Each structure stands twice: as structure tokens, then as C-alpha cells.
Structure 1
Amino acid sequence: MNTDVTVLGLGPMGSALAGAFVAAGHRTTVWNRTPGKAEPLVRQGAREAGSAGEALAASPLTVVSLSTYEAVREVLHPAACGLAGRTLVNLTSGPPVCAREMDAWAGRAGAAYLDGVVMTTPSGIGSRDFLQLYAGSAAAFERHRETLTALGDATYVGADTALSSVYDTTLLCQMWSTLTGWLHSVVLIGADGPGGNVTATEYTEVANRWMDTVRSFMNTYAPQVDSGEYPSGDFPLDLHRSTMRILAHACELRGADTGMPELFSTLTERAIAAGHGGDSYARLVEFVRREGRPEATLS
């Protein structure tokens, strides 16, 4: 079923969100604080509201994409009376504490609330290849899941609205780590300049296949991290250390930055010195954690 949906905020991301809803056949109402932004969407079939309050009243589901949570409050607070019985999905980036505060405010206004993050750029909106993460009311998510899939792979991560922001930060950490490791590898194989025997494209074709093995390691190690038990199988930390020494030598030969190899080696040496040379790579999670760290918190 096509559902009425409202989009507040028509910057590059908000416009992409509204366009995806229109393309999926949803009756879409749009509003933006700066006039003129809605014209391309109106030509595609969207309806422009005259005010934020009118936009909220047009649909049972409102998706907000503004620059900051402060901007969200400035837009929504004057129109709070129109939120009762509706669902508010906030895709504005911000810290976890802001998500919880907005959840509490929406609850007082009588609205169900989901806090979400868009794990792609505007050009990726509408593709099921890209994640959209949502936290908050499970009932609201199930009620509007099909509508939200117009934006991408709609994934629910939990009832605590802070979780969407936490997942966002941690997944970006993994992305940057992976991309930086890939760039480091491109330098090591000599694909970063003229005269190389292997191009970055050629290397990446092989690296993509190798990622299947990396995912296999992650899936093996995740239960070990959860349980605190780290059986190594046939790839203990002692063997990792030997291979890391080869990597360090390769970096010297290629003139590559040594920061990443030194990080790997430092963590591994600390674990082995503590008597864990026969454990799996997952044991390093205990050395990634800083000593004397504060209690874990989502806020």
C-alpha cells in the first residue's frame, strides 16, 4: 500500500529522500524553510505545504532531514500540537543524547518516534544496497517499514533511540579503517603512481574477493568477543606477529607510512607479552580498550 508521507527539509539529502518516496508511489508532501527548494519535487508529483504545521497534518508519517537537532526543534516545537497520533522519523545527524531528548519530547507531544541514520550519500538513496538504520519505537518501525524501504535497506537496531547514532559512528570507524587499509595496500603494491606493475583497479578486483575471507574471520571472532574465550584454531597471534614483521619490512621498502603496521604490531606484542600468543586475533579487543576507561555508555 502506498502511504502518505511528509518530508521536512529539502537540502541535498532531504530532496533525495522525498524524491525516493515519490518514485515509489507514495503521496508525498514536502516543506522547506527556504522557498523554492520544492519546485523540482513538485514537478515530479510531490505536494508543497505552506507551513511545517500543514506538512505535518498531511501525513501519518513525517521524515525530518535538517542540518542540526537545534534546527529540528526550531521547526517542530511550534507545530507540536499537530504531532499527536503520528510517527516522526528524524534522520538528522547528531549525538546520542539529542536522540533521547527528541524521543522524550515527541512522546510528550503524543507522537511515536524513530531516530535514524542514512548510511549513504544522497545519490544512494532509493537503493536497497545501502543501509538505513532506525532506533526507537518497534511498533512504529513495523507500521512504516514498507514505506521506509523506499529509501533503502531499512534496518531496526533497537528500542533505545541512541543506538542509531552509536551504530553510525562505529560503522564509519570501520569504513575509514577499511578504506585506509585499502589505500595502504595500494601503496604497498605500487599502484599509487606511474610505472607500477599493478593498477589500483586490478588490485581491488582481488581485494574484493579477499573480503569474503575477512568477513569469515569477523563472523568467527564475534562470538569469541561476546564470550571472552579466544581459541585460535590454526591462526594464533604468534603467527600473526610473524606475518606483521613481513609487512613492516615491505613498508620500509616501499616508503609507505608505518602508522598502521605499528598499531597492529603494538597491540599484538602487548597481547603476546601478556601470555596470549596462542589465542586468536580476537583477543586484541582487550588491548584495543584503554586501561582505566570509563564505564561503557551510549550517551
Structure 2
Amino acid sequence: MPERSPAPDAHPSAERPRVAVLGLGRMGTPIATAFLDAGYRTIVWNRSPDKVEALAARGAVPMATAAEAVTAAPLVVTPLLDHAAVRQALGTATAALRGRTVVNLANTTPDQARDLAAWTARYGAAYLDGAMMALPETVATASGFFLYSGTEEAFTRFRGALEVMAPAHYFGTDPGRAEIHDLALLGTGYGALAGFLHSLALLHGTGTGPEEFAALAARWLNGLTAYLPELAREVGAARYADGVSTVDLNRAAVDGIVELGRASGVTAAVHEPLRDLLRQRSAGGRGADSFSSVFELMRPRDAPLL
């Protein structure tokens, strides 16, 4: 298990704001625990009181209602399930929101984040949208990180508290930008995970077990990670002529993966979209360009990226 970041000191400090954590689910409990470990006066609320008791025994201050919790702290963190749960919880506390900073850590779309920012502003609260790139066991460790966007002054003011939960990255005043970056990162990961599961399907029955292959796959993915800055450089410059891994080279490889899948009775749905993009690029006379040039078939034509 990753080591926790050291607490600044063992006792609450006058410089540290009180923090209210609304929701003590899989992420809310380790987040509240991290604030307690770091010496913050931590107020907690949960719809079911059973999860409150263990934290109260460690020094958290339980509140019977979300409104009482919001009233008790200038910084309000909401690691709830989704947008609707946040609106429901804060909807009972609108009279207490003025002067508070709401940090929304629920599963949220970019437009929902913007909607919640506008809604909290009507009641005099600052808003930060947060995306948690972490698991419960990586809260308060260097292995996880959180993304934020929204009120810049609030991020600057409370950055020390935000860093208690995980290293914090700020993406500007548009409340939706943290969620856009969250989805982009998830898309990167899902592509790799889906490819891994497809590979296990190809290997099923060959005598190579999933655990054995996982070690090889992790080694291969580490190499691909080191290749990302080069791809980013090529895309940023829109220069693809000198890439070491060409469209035609990768087209042949992906064709081979698809054909092996068909011959083995394994769905090719994971890799067929990439195969089609590589074929389109090659048919357009760009087979000698870098693999990164496939980006040109993906990017929006009439709108900015974000």
C-alpha cells in the first residue's frame, strides 16, 4: 500500500480552515481521515449515521444535517455519488452557502459542473470542480492526484487543504475543464485496459496465464509511456514526417491483431476503429507519416479542442 503523505503536524492549527466533508462513502471516508491526520478540524455529515461514528471517535465533528455541516466550515468538500446527490445535499443548505467554497468531487459532466458553479454563485459561494484521479487507498499519497477548475482565488486560498487529499492540478476558471481533462485521462486508460483484456482473450487456451502475461504487458506499457512525449511533440508541431513508427508499420500490426482475433473467435471491436483510421491515413498517401498523424483524423475541424 502506498505511503501516506506526512501530516504537517499532529495538532490543529489556527491557520488551517475548518473542513466539512459531506458524504462518507468509498472516497469520502479516506478524505475525511486524511484531513484528520493532517490536523484539520474536520466536520462530517453522512445520510446514514453508521459511517460517522468511527470518524467521530478519531476526532471528527459529526453534524446531523448537511446544512449544519456547511454552516460550520468555510471549505465544503462533497465526495458524493453524482451531480444529483450534490444538488440534493446542498439544496438543504442554501442559506449557509454564502462565503463558503464548495469543492465538488462527485461524478460530474463538464456542463453539470458549470451548472453547479452558477447555482452556488447565486447563493454567494465560490466553486471548485474536482476530478479524483485516485483510488481510496491512494488518497493522501503521491500515487493519486486531483484535477480542479473554477474560482481561481478559492484554489489559491485553499490549495494547502486540497493538497492534503492528493497533489492538486488547476486547469483554469471554466468549471468544466477539470471534467474534460478527467475524461481525457480516463479515455487514455480505458484504451489500454480494453486492449489488455482483448489480449487476454487472444491468449485464452494457449497456456499463457493472465498473471504471466500481465507482467509482460506492464513492461511493454512502461515503454509506451516513455513514448508519449514524442507523440505529443509531433502533434503539437503538426510535423509527422520524421516519426520512427509509421502509419503503414502500425497498420500492418493492427491488421494482424484483427485477423488473429477473427481466426480465434475473438471480437475485433476493440481494434477495428484504429485499423480503419490507419487505413484511411494510408490511403490518403500518408503511410510514411508518424503514427501520431492519426490525430489529424480525430481532431475537431470547426471548434477548439477544449
Instruction: Tell me which interval the TM-score lies in, with the shorter structure as reference length.
Output: 0.7 to 0.9
Q: Where do 1:1-299 residues align within 5 Å?
A: 2=13, 3=16, 4-188=18-202, 190=203, 192-193=204-205, 196=207, 198-252=208-262, 254-288=264-298, 295=303
Q: For structure 1, list consecutive stretches of 5 or more residues without a partner in the other structure.
A: none
Q: 1:138 to 1:255 in 2, by over 3 A?
A: same
Q: Distance in 1 between matches of 2:230 and 2:144?
A: 24
Cα distance per residue 1:98-149 (max 9 Å; x no partner): 2112212222333221011222333432332012111112222222222222
Kindly indicate whether the alpha-carbon contact (under 8 Å) linking 1:100 and 1:162 is maintained by their aligned counterparts in 2: yes
Residue 297 (structure 1) shift: 7.6
Q: 1:207 to 1:112 in 2, by over 3 A?
A: same
The code of the aligned residue for 2:199 comes to: S
Partner of 2:4: none
Kindly indicate whether the alpha-carbon contact (under 8 Å) linking 1:128 and 1:149 is maintained by their aligned counterparts in 2: no
Q: Distance in 2 between matches of 1:262 and 1:68?
A: 33
Q: Distance in 2 between matches of 1:270 and 1:80?
A: 54
Q: 1:234 to 1:76 in 2, by over 3 A?
A: closer
Q: Distance in 2 between matches of 1:35 and 1:240?
A: 55
Computed over aligned residues only, the root mean square deviation of the Cα atoms, in angstroms, reads: 2.5
Q: Distance in 1 between matches of 2:176 and 2:201?
A: 38
The code of the aligned residue for 2:251 comes to: R
For normalisation by structure 2, the TM-score amounts to 0.84
Residue 96 (structure 1) shift: 1.4
The code of the aligned residue for 1:237 comes to: V
The code of the aligned residue for 1:277 comes to: G
What SS does the corresponding residue of 1:187 show, helix, strand or coil?
helix
Q: Which moved more, 1:99-108 or 1:240-249?
A: 240-249
Kindly indicate whether the alpha-carbon contact (under 8 Å) linking 2:134 and 2:143 is maintained by their aligned counterparts in 1: no
Q: Distance in 2 between matches of 1:220 and 1:131?
A: 24
Residue 78 (structure 1) shift: 4.0
Q: Distance in 2 between matches of 1:245 and 1:92?
A: 40
Residue 249 (structure 1) shift: 4.5
The code of the aligned residue for 2:156 comes to: E
Cα distance per residue 1:229-262 (max 9 Å; x no partner): 3224332212222333443444355443222343
The code of the aligned residue for 1:243 comes to: A
The code of the aligned residue for 1:160 comes to: D
Kindly indicate whether the alpha-carbon contact (under 8 Å) linking 1:126 and 1:151 is maintained by their aligned counterparts in 2: yes
Q: Distance in 2 between matches of 1:78 and 1:205?
A: 50
What SS does the corresponding residue of 2:146 show, helix, strand or coil?
strand
Q: Identity of aligned pairs, percent?
A: 36
What SS does the corresponding residue of 2:165 show, helix, strand or coil?
coil
